Chains A and B, each alone.
Chain A
Amino acid sequence: MFMKHGIVAGVALAVSLATPAMAKVEGDTIILGSSISLTGKYATNGLHTQRGYDYAVKVINEAGGVKVGGKSYKLDVKYYDDESTPARGAQLAERLIQQDGVEYMLGPYSSGMTKAIAPVSEKFGVPMVEAEGASRSLFTQGYKYLFAVLSTSEQYLATAIDFAAEKSSNPGDVRIALAFEGDPFSMDVRAGVMDKIKEYGMKVVIDDQLPADLSDMSTTLTKVKALKPDALIISGHSKGAATAARQIDEMKVNVPMIALTHCEAAKVQEKFPKTANGFLCPTQWVETLSKSDPMFGSAADWNTGFKADNPSYTSVPYQSAQASAAVYVFKEAFEAANSFDKDAVRDAISKVEMETFYGDIKFSENGNNIAKPMFMRQIDGSGQYKLVEKAGDMVFPRNVSY
């Protein structure tokens, strides 16, 4: 019995080893690979990402696919579920490349997962275009095959500091309170904010770090109430946004300006409509953006098309939009390279310079997109997100009566 299994496994292994690297282009289909979080703690956002990839693949294929060497190819994505664990992600990336012969990768969800997978694709020289890893530290490793269509994390809240400066007659007098989690992403966000604070010579009156298992930040907010800063800046993923919104209400914290990340993910506008009024929230993309491309049309067109395909969404998360943009980058690169050689494709990606529904895309030497800014939105009294392009558009101070 035992022997039999051994033999079967051995044969299966031999077969899989005997057919290497055949899968990258099968007939007239180009296979992209992605390990993505379909279960576990990133599952919600993993699904947003996957749907974004799938929608782009569908649209591109319907429009005639990718033209290489005068022939049309269809796109297809091979997915594995990484269960939201980095070790599993790295393992699956290796499996995609070595066993399935995938030579072009789409990124996973989150900076942490991307950090786990990038060394693998780098080792095998497989170009990876990712849409969901924003940590600045991804682009300081000298990776040659990693490209990201989104803005890096240090840009998330920096604009809020600009707004605070513009709203004050003397930026040097502005007093800021900071509450950031200690994980790589939030620390990146903080670094961007600190750079701006130094630039304006503002004063940091509170600089608290939030724990990973954050369920109570009342001590920080107590200090905020005592010191009355001009702006309160918070970043701690969804739990940070939810805890902050809940306790700002409960403790009647009145700060003229509050900016925080992950408002949409934590659904603060739905769960805490009263408190969330006036919150400033950064986003990678807005559906009212005035950018467009020949494939997906304008941002609004993409939004309508995506919703038609995925009717479960009332408002589409930016995670899906940037996922679509990543697939689009591959199409452009294949056509520019006019080849399936992975190094030729890599070089073509690095030279991509285009306007898309998601915003402009142009990669720096380090692989991050330097052409697209972050956007800032403010939640209004009815729980709607309003784009704030300059300080004048902002409701300041927040008007909330507890």
Chain B
Amino acid sequence: MWDNLQLLFVWAPIINVQVILDGIFVGAVFALSAYGLALVWGVMNIKNLAQGDFVIMGGYMALALHQLHVPLVLILLIVMPVMFMFGWIVYVLMIRRIIDQDMFVSLLATFGLSLLLQQVMNLIFGPEVQTIDMELPVYDAFDNMVTVPSSKLITLILAGVIATGVIIFMKRSRAGQAIRATAQDPRAARVLGIDIDRVYAFTFAFNAALCGAAGVLVSIIWVIQPFYGITYSVRSFAIVTAAGLGNLPAVIGAGFGIGLFEKYTGAILGTAYEVAAPVSILLLVLIWRQIQMRRNRQVVR
């Protein structure tokens, strides 16, 4: 660890640039799936444990389409609507029935869904690790100490475009307004003529589409495997817990924050600890919140 710190800050400070860039690329992808979770959590109070599996599902769809030589932008335009429809079906078949139940039912049900999706993907695509290699050029700088693959740059741009689209959609469109209204007060929304069931279905489907988009990006810059979903679920939960529900800029900020934290943890402690980093953040945030709330807590003596 001491060696790694010296390496980062004394011997070769230039690699900080690489670590920071990697953190930003990672964070952009996390932010997408985390925002979907924040929506579903905030609007419907469903904690979707299958979040990461939706991501991997999007990845496998992208892989299948890539093998048919479909260009990247078209892949996104196909995967997002397909995942949207898939999300809608899952809502109708399953989520609708558990929405009024207590928290554990939603956790159990989505955990079951997660297992089901993993096994189905395993049956269809096999257990091998796969990736989309677009064979795009790689830019390097500082005597090859910093490399930026164009695939990651494209990913960052696409993530930015999708996030901007989502912000505008939530602020300006009627559907976005209806979602926000339902999140604030479902009963009042219903009184005012909003079809809550449709809003819920739309929100869940929208989340699946966002995860699908994240999955496409993941399959381009890293590798996917049917059982990798859990790591994306964990990161999404960590980001949402840190950022709070329904606040998109905060989710994006937390996404980048966790991305950077993860990469620095990896650089200093070793790659194995990268996955542990978001979990430790989750823990710290929860402890911090406890302390904060303590101030507001009043006890009648």
Contact = CB atoms under 8 A, between A and B. Distances in A.
Interface of A: 40-44, 179, 182, 205, 207-211, 213-220, 222-223, 225-227, 238-239, 242-243, 246, 249-252, 254, 266, 271-272, 402
A252 B128 contact: no
Nearest to B266: A219
A243 B129 contact: yes
Most interface-central of B11, B26, B266, B275 (chain A CB within 10 A): B266
A345 to B, nearest CB: 35
Contact of B147 (A42, A220, A250): A250
Interface string B207-234: 0000000000010001111011011000
A219 B19 contact: yes
Nearest to A265: B128
Contact of A238 (B11, B128, B151, B230): B128
Contacts of B222: 215-216, 243, 246
B4 interface: yes
Contacts of A182: 272
Interface of B: 3-4, 7, 11-12, 14-15, 18-19, 22, 26, 122, 126-131, 133, 138, 140, 144-145, 147, 149, 151, 218, 222-225, 227-228, 230-231, 263, 266-267, 270-272, 274-275
A387 B195 CA distance: 69
A44 B22 contact: no
3 closest pairs, A vs B, by CB? A219-B266, A209-B272, A41-B127
B126 A44 contact: yes
Contacts of B272: 182, 208-211
A239 B223 contact: yes
Contact of B15 (A216, A225, A249): A225
B131 A246 contact: yes
Given A239-B129, A246-B133, A223 B267 contact: yes
18 contacts: A41-B122, A208-B270, A209-B272, A216-B26, A216-B271, A219-B267, A220-B270, A223-B7, A223-B267, A225-B15, A242-B131, A242-B223, A243-B222, A243-B223, A250-B149, A252-B144, A252-B147, A271-B133
Most interface-central of A182, A219, A252 (chain B CB within 10 A): A219
A223 B11 CA distance: 11
Contacts of A205: 3
Contact of A222 (B218, B224, B267): B267
Contacts of A217: 271
Contacts of A223: 4, 7, 15, 267
Contacts of B7: 223, 226-227
Contact of B231 (A215, A242, A271): A215
A41 B225 CA distance: 10
Nearest to B123: A39
Given A41-B122, A225-B144, A238-B128, A213 B12 contact: no
B261 to A, nearest CB: 12
A225 B144 CA distance: 9
B137 to A, nearest CB: 10
A209 B272 CA distance: 5
B231 A252 contact: no
Nearest to A267: B128
B275 A213 contact: yes
Given A211-B275, A213-B275, A41 B227 contact: yes
B127 A215 contact: no
B225 A239 contact: yes
Contacts of A215: 218, 222-225, 228, 231
Nearest to B25: A218
Contact of A210 (B14, B129, B131, B271): B271
Contacts of A41: 122, 127, 227
A252 B22 contact: no
Contacts of A218: 18, 22, 263
Nearest to A215: B222
A40 B120 CA distance: 10
Contacts of B230: 213
Given A220-B270, A238-B128, A246-B133, A213 B18 contact: no
Nearest to B13: A226
A250 B11 contact: no
A42 B270 CA distance: 28
A226 B146 CA distance: 10
B271 A222 contact: no
Contact of A43 (B12, B127, B131): B127
A138 to B, nearest CB: 23
Contacts of B270: 207-209, 220
Contacts of B26: 216
A219 B271 contact: yes
Most interface-central of A182, A246, A254 (chain B CB within 10 A): A246
A238 B222 CA distance: 14
Contact of B271 (A43, A44, A209, A226): A209
Nearest to B140: A252
A219 B274 contact: yes
B274 A211 contact: yes
A217 B223 CA distance: 11
Contacts of B227: 41, 213
Contacts of B14: 226
B147 A266 contact: no
A372 to B, nearest CB: 28
